Chains A and B, each alone.
Chain A
Amino acid sequence: MSVIEVNNLTKYYGKARGIVDVSFDVKEAEIFGFIGPNGAGKSTTIRLLLSLIHPTSGSAKVFGKDVVTHGPEIRRDIGYLPSEVYYYEGMKVIDLLKYSASFYDCDCTERLHKLSETMELEMNRRISDLSYGNKKKVGIVQGLLHSPKLLFLDEPTAGLDPLMQRKFFDLIREENTRGVTVFFSSHILGEVQRLCNRVGIIREGKIAEISDIRSLQQNNYKKVRVMAENLDPAAFNLPGVTNLQTEDGMVHFFFKGDINSVLQKISGVQVNDLTIEEPTLEEIFMHYYE
């Protein structure tokens, strides 16, 4: 079952482009990564799904219901962590969390305290006294405390130290194993790679690619590095080879196609060292942005 269905969703801010003709599906209990550089339309997409803004054309459904007409109902089961967290400055952390909890029909007190403990939140401090990272932690607890079925995380790790990031990822994985669907937007590919099952790549407001994270890595390029004496790089100028470079007697290149053609070439050479590996998402990503 699809938790999110987006059909030809388009948003213009006056004449400025938000997103154009975006379509994708997110299945139940998957972690969907949404990758793109700043200004590509990641936040616009999330804000449309939360009906913070209204689409210019196209439609979107969450839990099978239209986001424009059934907003309040849908948002009962949504947790949202915005990329920039801003809360009522005069409030104490605990008061803000209680205020947030009061919007939902649940007794979230126990969960509230458990989550705050995990994220090491100081409950009696004022929001205005918190650092950026600490505000982000408030955002995480606030987004999770009503046990939502769908989580929107908009660049959630910015401002968190590596230790907190790991705790946060563990938390998200734990939620996910309980069946929570996660929509994870980021421009940091490493973290998407660590967490997500599928990714959508958005570029200048348009979807460039939607793919399984494994097939994105497998079906595409291999990174080949060959170290040998008196190696002629030109020998590897085969069809399917890109980015051919020589460095300290090592030849490296990306290859897409039948790997045997490369292996045949290599077998004719006295090789000192050889690696064939999957490129990182970073490297694939650069390819989409070339």
Chain B
Amino acid sequence: MSATIYLYELRSRLKSVITWSIALVAIILIFFSIFPGFADQAALLNETMSKFPPALLAAFGLNQVDLSSVLGFFSFIFLFTQLCIAIQAGNYGFGLVSIEETDLTADFLVSKPVSRAQILNSKLLAAITSLVITDVVVWVSSIAAFMLFNADRPYDTHTLILLLLSLLVFQLFFLSLGLVISLLVKRVRSVTPYALGLGFGMYVLSAFSGLEGVSVLETITAFKHFDPNYIIQHVAYNTPLVLLDVAVIIVSLAVSYWLYLRRDIPAVS
């Protein structure tokens, strides 16, 4: 761990963290603010939706949702929050070491008296700090939204906390997976397409797994590991899938360290 690198990384990601945070606050508050007006007609909407093809509803994560309940409505918003967080975390993961290599500043950093492990430790910790800052913003704005716009309907705080805390592991999944992919491919030229691909890809996989019923696909995507509908219905995490998620994180990080410690820093070509 090198405080110097950690602080540099944190500072260089500050703008991105602020941008994502503002976007997420806006999504949560604006979306939630329509709930009080919406709740009264939700029963009608639920009825209409039940006539939709179940496959279509499943694709949007709406198949088992009661939009007239606060948590049911929130689960819909939460899915978008997850998508944003997935892209953000993937972005940090893919860029963690690849940006220095494309910008050719890796020579500068690696020729300093720090070990590769120290570099990766500091960078990971800085990225995780950035993600936790975003989480805190999401947590605070979600709780505020629940208090402001609950339309006097009851909701279970315990479930809400479960949902919000799940983000911590959820984003580690994308951070570590992004990192390991960036080290496995020859060279990442631009980070954003990769992050979008990973985020949306995993989301679509989860949506399709809803179509097929239980399938193998759902076991690999973090959107299923932390499916808000499941958490709301069971007031608990889907333990086997969460363990699988944690396993993916641990394997990705282990492989990343193994690769980075042995990596040849590409020269100017």
Residues of chain A whose beta carbon lies under 8 Å from any beta carbon of chain B: 13, 43, 47, 50-54, 71-76, 78, 80, 82-84, 86-90, 99-100, 102-104, 142
Q: Are B4 and A89 in contact (CB under 8 A)?
A: no
Q: B103 touching A76 by the CB < 8 A rule?
A: no
What is the minimal beta-carbon distance from B185 to any residue of chain A, in angstroms?
15
Query: Which residues does chain A contribute within 8 Å of B103, judged by CB atoms?
Result: 86, 88-89
Number of A-B contacts (CB under 8 A): 62
Alpha-carbon distance A75/B115, docked complex (angstroms)? 10
Asked if B8 is at the interface (CB within 8 A of a chain A CB), the reply is yes
B114 touching A102, Cβ below 8 Å: no
- CB of B48 closer than 8 Å to a CB of A: no
State whether B268 touches A78 (Cβ < 8 A). Answer: no
Q: Which of B113, B115, B268 contacts A103 (CB 8 A)?
A: B113
Contact in complex: A47, B267 (CB < 8 Å): yes
The CA of A71 and the CA of B110, in the complex, are separated in Å by 10
- 4 closest cross-chain pairs (CB), A and B: A86-B104, A53-B264, A76-B113, A75-B113
* Secondary structure type dominating chain A contacts: loop
A sample of 13 inter-chain contacts (CB < 8 A) reads: A47-B265, A47-B267, A50-B111, A53-B264, A73-B113, A75-B113, A86-B103, A86-B268, A88-B12, A88-B103, A90-B12, A103-B2, A104-B113
- Which B residues form the contact surface with A (CB < 8 A)? 2, 4, 8, 12, 103-108, 110-115, 118, 262, 264-265, 267-268
Q: Which residues of B contact A83 (CB under 8 A)?
A: 268
Contacts of A99 in B (CB 8 A): 4, 8
Contact A75 B111 (CB under 8 A): yes
Contact at B113–A54, with CB atoms within 8 Å?
no
Q: Is the CB–CB distance between A75 and B104 below 8 Å?
A: no
Contact indicator A87/B108 (Cβ below 8 Å): yes
* Docked-complex contact A72 and B264, CB < 8 angstroms: no
Given A13-B264, A72-B118, does the pair A52, B111 have CB atoms closer than 8 Å? yes
Closest Cβ of chain B: how far from A88's Cβ, in Å? 6
B4, B105, B113, B265: most-surrounded residue (chain A CB, <10 A): B113
Are A87 and B105 in touch, CB under 8 angstroms? yes
A71-B115, A74-B113, A78-B111 known, 9 other contacts, Cβ within 8 Å: A13-B264, A47-B265, A47-B267, A52-B267, A54-B264, A75-B113, A86-B105, A86-B108, A103-B114
Most buried by B among A13, A53, A72, A76: A72
In the assembled complex, the CB of B122 is this many whole angstroms from the nearest CB of chain A, namely 12
Task: Say yes or no: A75-B265 contact (C-beta < 8 A), given A99-B4, A103-B4.
Answer: no
Which chain B residues lie closer than 8 Å to A88 at the CB level? 12, 103, 105
